[in-house]
Amino acid sequence: MPGQILVVGSSNTDMVVKTEKLPAPGETVLGGTFLMNPGGKGANQAVAAARLAGISSRSAVTFVAKVGRDLFGEQAIRQFAEEGIRTAHMVTDPDEPSGVALINVDARGENTITVASGANANLQPDETDAALEATEPDTIVLLQLETPIETVEHVIRRSYERGLRVILNPAPARPLPFGLYPFLHLITPNETEAGLLTHTEVTDEETAGIAARRLRALGVANVIITLGRKGVYLHTEALSTIIPAPAVTALDTTAAGDCFNGALAVALSEGMPLPDAAAFACQAASLSVTRLGAQASMPTRAELERIDGEPSTQVLPVNEERNTE
């Protein structure tokens, strides 16, 4: 029986304009297509997890977020429930509006994102306690950094005390309290985020390995650095693994990392070994970038299972001489 997944994070409404190119500072670009979609890193990851958990595991995902007392907030909660996500611990802010994100996407699928956090910035540590108290022993806890760092730290420490495995997706990039790392089962930065956390410019496999070893030296049990179309670099005490992503033509990379993290939580909740879980997540994220939107792009388990071929991993020996970096 798969374990439960608790996602604590942000909920936004994404306002997306797709154009041939991203505007430069001071430039106006005409001819775009407008879409309005539900988004927010926490919400994206919760939806990805719910869809990939499959029909037999509906209601396996609980989401904690703070929304405004407005149309966007009401619509978000209703949509989460329709996805089979437990919403009993969602919080409504009486003063701040729901979060929104303004997204530009170019013809290559690259994007720029500006976020007005709204109620997300008011999620208080004690507003997560009821959900944490309701967790089962095998629950996976998944967090990001679009809510106050005090709340993130509170959830991580309380989860660790309860013996729960915590995945932190440290996005958007920002410094973390050094004392937080030992409480993490897994951290999943991209190249930019890994560079900020380790003061290492991550440009290739070698520099990804340096950054991953530095993160483990800070106390994290396991590290996955996402490398976009190149796949991921997985580093644990026992192995270093490059897991390639399936080759696809990207239409929109928005929320690909969120899809990866939601899929990773599902795979780990089902007992997959970490390399297999990362490969499963790479497949899901690769499928998501072939579609427009954030939550709209998240695949279902059935869609993923229709993909021919098995994900492959390339396992490389850990270079013990470099582990002191």
Cβ atoms of 267 and 188 within 8 Å: the answer is no
Q: ∠ CA 251-256-258 to the nearest 5 degrees?
A: 150
User: Binding site annotation covers 293?
Assistant: yes
What per-residue string of b and e applies to 214-250 under the rule 16 or more CB within 10 Å gives b?
bbbebebbbbbbbbeeebbbbbbeeebbbbbbbeeeb
User: Binding site annotation covers 37?
Assistant: no
User: Binding site annotation covers 288?
Assistant: yes
User: Binding site annotation covers 139?
Assistant: no
Active site residue 126: no
Q: Which helix (H) or strand (E) holds 72?
A: helix 71-82
User: Binding site annotation covers 228?
Assistant: yes
User: Binding site annotation covers 227?
Assistant: yes
Nearest alpha-carbon partner for 64 in 180, 179, 154, 195: 154
User: Binding site annotation covers 190?
Assistant: yes
User: Binding site annotation covers 219?
Assistant: no
Cβ atoms of 41 and 254 within 8 Å: the answer is no
Active-site option among 93, 95, 258, 276: 258
User: Binding site annotation covers 26?
Assistant: no
CA torsion through residues 27, 33, 37, 39, sign: negative
Residue 57 vs residues 117, 185, 255, 263, 307: alpha-carbon distances, Å: 31, 23, 23, 13, 21
User: Binding site annotation covers 269?
Assistant: no
What are the binding residues for K(+)?
252, 254, 288, 291, 293, 297
> Which residues fall in the annotated binding site?
12-14, 40-44, 146, 190, 226-231, 252, 254, 257-258, 288, 291, 293, 297
Q: State the catalytic residues.
A: 258
Residues marked as binding for ATP?
A: 190, 226-231, 257-258
Which residues carry a binding-site annotation for substrate? 12-14, 40-44, 146, 258
